[in-house]
Every structure is written in structure tokens, then in C-alpha cells.
Amino acid sequence: MRELIFGLAARGEILLGSHLLAEVQQVCSHGLILERGCVVAQEAIDALLVGDPAVVLRTPVPQRVRLLCGTAPWLCLLAKAGNLLHSAVPCAREVECAQLLVNEQTPALELFRRDQRLE
């Protein structure tokens, strides 16, 4: 489907309607958002992206990460789900965060980059 869209776009502008925002983000240069038939935004895709890019940390030992927040104020706590802690780290501190976890022997289930998105 992407090849078809790119092929049509190479010939000129096309209008693509979709609720699959992740796909729209990958194939479109501009977006138009409608709400109940009214245009609420019309911008380049980059201007429509929401959320801050960050590195997300999931750990089974939230109490240990809470203690680390005192020494690393850039390590912000987002949410606790059961015994898992979700934290966000600025992208520029990704390596520093990984090193801190290793040095403090703090296990991480996931440490991944979350990009901005349309959704």
C-alpha cells in the first residue's frame, strides 16, 4: 500500500484519509485533521507530532529507581503499574541512564526510545 501511495504522490499531490495515524506519519508530508467535519489543524506532519521524545525505562524495582531520582533529577517518574515503574529520560541522557542502572545494579526490563507521534 505504501508503494502505491508513494507512486501516486510522485505524480502530484494526493489526499489520503485514514485513522491509522502511525501509517500517515510514515507516508505523508502534511496532515489535515477534521473534527466533526471542521478543519482543526492543517500543518506539516512534524508540526502535528505530540509527546516529547524520551527514553522509557521499565523496571521491576521501582523503590530503587525512586532512590536514584535523588542523584539524577532528570530521571522522572511517570507511572506505576503493579510492581513496574515507567520512567522517562531525556534522549540526551540515554547512555548516562544505562550506565547509572548498571553501576547501581538496578535491573531494567526495557529501556527504549519513544519518539513523537501523531497518536
* Burial group, residue 73, by CB count within 10 angstroms (0-12, 13-18, 19+): exposed
The CATH class, in words, for 54-114 is: alpha beta
Residue 105: the pLDDT is 93
Query: How many C-beta atoms surround the C-beta of residue 87 within 10 A?
Result: 24
The tens digit of pLDDT for each residue in 56-100 reads 888 888 888 888 888 888 877 666 766 666 777 888 888 888 999
Cα gap 85→71, rounded to integer Å: 17
Residue 84: the pLDDT is 65
Non-local (6+) Cβ contacts of 48 within 8 A are: 31, 33, 41, 118
In the chain, where are the structural domains located? 2-48, 54-114
What cell does 3 get? 508503494
The tens digit of pLDDT for each residue in 14-60 reads 888 888 888 888 888 888 888 888 888 888 888 887 766 777 888 88
Cα gap 95→112, rounded to integer Å: 11
Contact 78, 103 (CB under 8 A): no
